[in-house]
Amino acid sequence: MPAEAGQDKAPLPFSAVYHPSVRPVSICFSAFIYISLLSGKRELLVSTSTIIIYMKRVRCPKCDNFITFDETKYKSGQRLVFQCPQCGKEFGIRIGISKLRKTQKEENNEPESDEQENEYGSLHVIENVFHFRQVIPLQLGENVIGRYMKGNPINCPIETVDPSVDMTHCAITVSRNKKGKLQYVLRDGPSYTGTFVDNEILGDRERRIIENGTLFTIGATSIILHAPGK
């Protein structure tokens, strides 16, 4: 039941659950949402034990953690105040005014707007319980792969909650050989859990040439290399 102004408004945690028609971003998380009516005369607190995660994402301005919510439940102009479950930062948005991002799955299903993004190939991160499918464009030179975290300067971050993926896990160097053909060389970070190609772990100093369609694994995350024009 929504709480009227003046009543006890202690925030109640909620958690995500699986639904047959929706694939959630993560198994569970806690967050608090307050809804202030435009009249300003009273404030409602959304309190529910479970919700289905889909529709839109908002990013915490302090730690860059994503919070996902159903935008369709709120009217244009309503103000929502979130408390980030990761760092505790409170911040507000206004529906219909603040910039929101689509879910990771919706973004990945959209066609590429810039063909040059995949000029040097891309990494296709296979969906699992820790994240949705992601497509990460490669660039000429060294492409450092790891778990996304604010302040981590790598150029191929993966948005995942997979604890077995290091912040700097492995790297792919993209170059051209004497014939002008693209070449991909994979190495481990070094990482705590290792980098595997076809279920074989790379040595500490090993440099492995990979090609279009090569599957490699970091932690519990599997990635496929897609070369351009293939």
Q: Do 85 and 159 lie in a common domain?
A: no
Q: Do 91 and 36 lie in a common domain?
A: yes
32 within some domain: yes
Q: Do 39 and 97 lie in a common domain?
A: yes
Kindly tell me the sign of the dihedral angle through the C-alpha atoms of 55, 100, 157, 160. negative
Query: What's this model's pTM, rounded to 2 decimal places?
Result: 0.58
Decide which of 71, 87, 110 is a domain's last residue. Answer: 110
The better pLDDT of the pair 34, 164 is held by 164
What's CA 100's distance to the chain center, in Å? 14
What's the whole-number mean pLDDT along residues 60-87? 80
Q: Do 83 and 182 lie in a common domain?
A: no
116 within some domain: no
Q: How many domains does the chain have?
A: 2
Question: Which one, of 83, 77, 1, lies nearest residue 40 by Cα?
Answer: 77
- The residues, any chain, with a CB within 8 Å of residue 110's CB and separated by 6 or more, are none
pLDDT at residue 202, as a whole number: 97
As a whole-number percent, the residues of the chain with pLDDT over 90 amount to: 40
pLDDT at residue 63, as a whole number: 81
Q: Do 106 and 5 lie in a common domain?
A: yes
- The residues, any chain, with a CB within 8 Å of residue 7's CB and separated by 6 or more, are none
Residue 216 dihedral angles phi and psi, to the nearest 5°: -130, 155
Q: Do 143 and 52 lie in a common domain?
A: no
Domain that holds residue 190: 122-226
Residue 102 structure tokens: 């689509």
